[in-house]
Amino acid sequence: MSVMPKLKLQLVNLCWFLAVCVTPHPGYSATIVIVDMQDIQLGTVTPTANLLRHRARFCVAMRPRGPYQIIGLGTGTNGNFALTGGEGVASDIPMDVFISNRPQRRGRTLHPNIPLSGFRAQRLRPDGECRGRRTFITVQIDPSDLAAATAGQYSGSLYLTVAPQ
């Protein structure tokens, strides 16, 4: 009887950084609050696992309320979204990342270091809390990429920058 090697996959840090971009309007300023952030634990899987997908949600509130964009950067080679690890020779397991304002939808594909725009910030309450609809992030790993990975522990980080448009 053979034992299937296991992969321990962990997106160690789902980090969120706040940046205010230069806008064409002199003197423009905004207060941005991001709440409900969480790390994504992908767990232990076998290489024969089906599509691996995890969804998390967060809220972006802004005063004054307006549109914002998200820029992502991963810890894989050249900033790609990937988990790195394995036994022996280190390897990357690529991840697809999707952002959506609707829980029922997979969302639009986020590409490393390319702004994804068209999101609408929620209302910032006087107590500093976010009020309204959440934004959803989905991290997905293809079964063929899992099958090609060597056994071992994998980890990675995904850094998101939220900026007004």
So what's the pLDDT on residue 37?
A: 75
DSSP strands (E only) in 36-151 = 40-45, 52-63, 67-74, 82-85, 91-94, 96-100, 108-110, 116-120, 122-124, 130-131, 135-141
Q: What was the pLDDT predicted at 63?
A: 79
pLDDT for the residue 65: 82
Peptide bond into 64 cis (omega under 30): yes
pLDDT at 47: 63
Residue segments in the chain with a per-residue pLDDT below the cut of 50 = 1-5, 10-26
Residue ranges of domains in the chain, CATH in brackets: 13-164 (2.60.40)
**Could you give the CA distance from residue 50 to residue 2 in angstroms, rounded to a whole number?**
20
**Residue 141: predicted pLDDT:** 87
User: What is the per-residue pLDDT for 28?
Assistant: 55
> Residue 8, class by beta-carbon neighbours within 10 Å (0-12 exposed, 13-18 middle, 19+ buried)?
middle
